[in-house]
Amino acid sequence: MNQNIWIKEYRKQKNYNHSQVALKAGIERSYYTKIENGQKPSVKVAQKLGRILEFDWTLFFTHDCDETSQKSNTA
pLDDT digits (tens, 9 = 90+) for 2-16: 678 899 999 999 999
pLDDT at residue 72 greater than cutoff 90: no
pLDDT digits (tens, 9 = 90+) for 11-36: 999 999 999 999 999 999 999 999 99
**By C-alpha distance, which of 28, 39, 31 is closest to 61?**
39
pTM: 0.79
Secondary structure (DSSP) of 13-75: HTT--HHHHHHHHTS-HHHHHHHHTTPPPPHHHHHHHHHHHTS-TTHHHHTT--HHHHHHHH-
- What average pLDDT does the chain have? 85
What fold characterizes domain 5-63? Answer: 434 Repressor (Amino-terminal Domain) (1.10.260)
